[in-house]
Structure 1
Amino acid sequence: MDLRIRGSGPTSPFLSARDLFETEYELSLPVSVQLRDDPDERTWAGHYDDHHVLNISKQAASSAMARELALHEFSHMARHEQEHPSHIQSTEEVLYLALAGKRVERRKLSHCYQIANHMKDIYADDITLAVGPGEKLLSFLESSLAMAIADRPELPARPGLERLSTSADPEITAVNAAFALALAERHDLVEDTHRLYDLSHAAAMDAPGVDFKGFKRRFRELACDPDASTYRQILVDATRAYVGGEGLAAE
């Protein structure tokens, strides 16, 4: 992998991630790592005709998750070069097919994009977890879900549960929990007694209108190499399951 790191900051996490990645995979295009000053800059990959870009804040690049974040983004790049359906399917096209004629709340529409991103992440992390350990990723999923559950809007009180703020939507939190648990189960990262099960149960209980088990099954059982039509239908069905509706997508 031709790796170029731009901006002042640590380089070892990216070099280490490259070495792990190249034990099983390779990228045809060079990768430019852009270290950004904004600590709130999320980590994301950009894809161009002649290169990929890994955007990451200096703060994230100095964190304990830096290598894992880089490895995850390299995996997205690999899926993009493979032209995997999850990474080339237009989310806007899927939303048009799934939601035509429906009135959908803006927040739910944004959640549909998140569901599509979860499916992309499943396929990227099939690569990530094939070449690297999963302990840090599992801890990240657990802590992120715990924070979201603590950050929910006010609901009818349950013993021992304190509401801290009103910023986390319980419906998408339940879907996020289904994704986290599905990914962990897909790669045998958890025992039956792991705390992630308790957290996921709490998230599901707070969003009774969300088919938690159904979403967990959808994420966990994604076929490794679906064709474009099959994948589009999977994403249409998941979108309709979240907002309501049924039927086949148009070809």
Structure 2
Amino acid sequence: MRAAYDAVEAAYAKAGHAPTWPVSLVVEPMPIMGATQSRAGRGHLIHVSLQAAESAMASGLIAHEMGHIVRTEAGHPSHDRTVHDRALARVTVPRAFARGFPRVARSAIGHVEDIYADDYAIPLMVGARSREFFGEWARNATRTAGDRWDEVFGALDIAFSIGNLDRHRLLEGDDPLRGLASDFAAGHGIRSLGELTTIYRDLPDPTSSEACEDLLAGLVRTVLGELRARPA
């Protein structure tokens, strides 16, 4: 794990994006592949799951988390919780959706953070390996079954995965993954999959806090509209 971290840190440093705050890493059992906790000026703690640490994608995960670190240290608005909260406050959520909506909204915004992090990770470290990783993520999402919440979560994962691959020109126009996504949307009555994919693909950079807030509010409204259009 140390060698993987050192390789990532060296790649970021060579590109002029070395972290300036201290970085620590811990490998531990956790339900997700990884995460990073950051405290301004004090440092970052990268959490890596046991599963990820034992996989071939360990360096890719660390590179992704390093992308979050770079965005956080730079004060990028996509990684500013105040911007997130302002965007969410602009969206009126009907009472019937109030309990579950914060989770799906945070997922939609989390994908935005991930894409901005991958703008560093993919070109610096991961490259074409992203195709297999995000392709599998999208394929798993197309198998989603459940209520309207589950289906919208699945649509967000598909839109994020394909949008991210398109952003880095890693998905051909006739790739079978696009057909799977279209079949999922048609089969589950998802009307906004194309719109969501385009939002993720075309995230602007650089961007201002105001522009990012507008974008996130629009994204969240699109998700809410999809939920409201679906049968309970």
Tell me whether the two structures share a fold, i.e. TM-score over 0.5.
yes
SS in 2 for 1:64: coil
Structure 1 residue runs without a partner (length 5+): 1-9, 154-165, 246-251
Q: 2:127 aligns with which of 106, 122, 134?
A: 134
Report the equivalent of 1:229.
Answer: 210
More helix by share: 2
After superposition, the CA RMSD in angstroms is 2.3
Q: Percent identity?
A: 22
Report the equivalent of 1:83.
Answer: 75
Q: Does 1:56 align with 2:48?
A: yes
* Equivalent pairs, count: 223
What does residue range 48-197 of structure 1 map to in structure 2 within 5 Å? 48-49=39-40, 50-90=42-82, 91-99=84-92, 103-153=96-146, 169-197=150-178
Aligned-partner Cα distance in 2 for 1:32–1:214: 38
Q: Is the 8 A contact 2:137 2:161 kept in 1?
A: no
Q: 1:168 to 1:95 in 2, by over 3 A?
A: closer
Q: Is the 8 A contact 1:39 1:60 kept in 2?
A: no
Deviation at 1:97, TM superposition (A): 1.6
1:193 alignment partner AA: D
SS in 1 for 2:14: coil
Instruction: Tell me the TM-score normalised to structure 2 length.
Output: 0.87
Report the equivalent of 1:157.
Answer: none
Report the equivalent of 1:216.
Answer: 197
Deviation at 1:198, TM superposition (A): 2.0
Aligned-partner Cα distance in 2 for 1:181–1:65: 19
Report the equivalent of 2:9.
Answer: 18
Instruction: Tell me the TM-score normalised to structure 1 length.
Output: 0.81
Higher RCO structure (Cα 8 Å, ≥6 apart): 2
2:158 alignment partner AA: A
Structure 2 residue runs without a partner (length 5+): 227-232
Higher Rg of the two aligned structures: 1
